[in-house]
Amino acid sequence: MSATPETEILAVLPRGRHAAPRPVVRETQRARMLEAMVQAVAEKGFARVAVADVIERAGVSRKTFYEQFANKEDCFLAAYDAGVDRLLAAIDDALDALAPDWLAGTRRAVEVYLGAMAASPAFARAFLIEVLGAGPEALSRRDAVQERFAAQLQAIHRRARADIPEIPALAPHTFRAAVGAVNELVTAHVLEHEAHTLPELSDAILDVHLALLVGRELAARIATAPS
């Protein structure tokens, strides 16, 4: 699936001097440093990345870096947060745009998620793999992100039950388990293949969602029902 502007996770902004107000220049520099951090981490691994790697890629001075970030961990966490916020917002938009058709919304949300990760392979690696070795605060942020994904699945489940009353209620841990299952599939794919091929997992992830959120028997009926 080709990437669209709304699914690009971190935008690359131009280098150089700008005839713009200082806050605009500062924000432009920040965006470049976040992108540079993601690229450096994807290439070298978090443990091997130095501030020098970031400022060289971003085309900024060391002074500019430390005006905005305390250290490389601070910059990595800011990049992680920025990417996650944009990714989750894109998924929410996909679900809302197709409400109350929860099934079509779920399909589109899966496509948006995989398309965004495929369009930003460096972020995909940072988001899925490198965050695990980026320290306790990064793990805490990751845990909070998993909860946000679980909340999205819980909202899908509520819409599904409103549409099909026979769908059973689920305990909250089920949604977190579904997030874990998807994360495992996507991470394994990134490790074994190229991130740009992630959209190939669309059917598998939709199957996991339906099996866990509505039950295997109903999921089979839904999958074979006319659109």
The DSSP element (H or E) to which 161 belongs, if any, is: helix 136-163
Q: Quote the pLDDT of residue 21.
A: 77
Percent of the chain with pLDDT over 70: 90
Query: Tell me, what's the pLDDT at 62?
Result: 98
Q: What is the mean pLDDT of residues 35-53?
A: 97
Work out the pLDDT band at 215, boundaries 50, 70, 90.
confident
Share of the chain above pLDDT 90, in %: 78
Least Cα distance to 120 among 12, 40, 10, 37 occurs for 10
Residue 206 DSSP SS3: helix
Selected residue with higher pLDDT from 54 and 9: 54
pLDDT for 194 beyond 60: yes
Note the pLDDT of residue 221: 77
Q: Give the pLDDT of residue 19.
A: 54
* Diameter over CA atoms, the chain: 61
Considering the chain, what is the average pLDDT of its residues?
90
- Higher confidence at residue 217 or residue 107? 107
Find out whether 62 and 36 touch, Cβ atoms under 8 Å: no
Containing structural domain, residue 120 = 5-224
Round to whole Å and give the CA distance between 183 and 127: 10
What total number of domains does the chain contain? 1
For residues 157-182, give the mean pLDDT. Answer: 94
CATH number at residue 200: 1.10.357.10
Q: Of the candidates 124, 130, 126, which has an alpha carbon nearest to the alpha carbon of residue 194?
A: 124
Q: At 8, is the pLDDT very low, low, confident or very high (cuts 50, 70, 90)?
A: low
Q: Give the global pTM.
A: 0.88
Q: How confident is the model at residue 2 (pLDDT cuts 50, 70, 90)?
A: very low
Distance of CA 26 to the CA centre of its chain: 25
| Structure token pair of residue 121 | 């392979």
Which pLDDT tens digit goes with each residue over 22-41?
888 999 999 999 999 999 99
Range 155-175 average pLDDT: 93
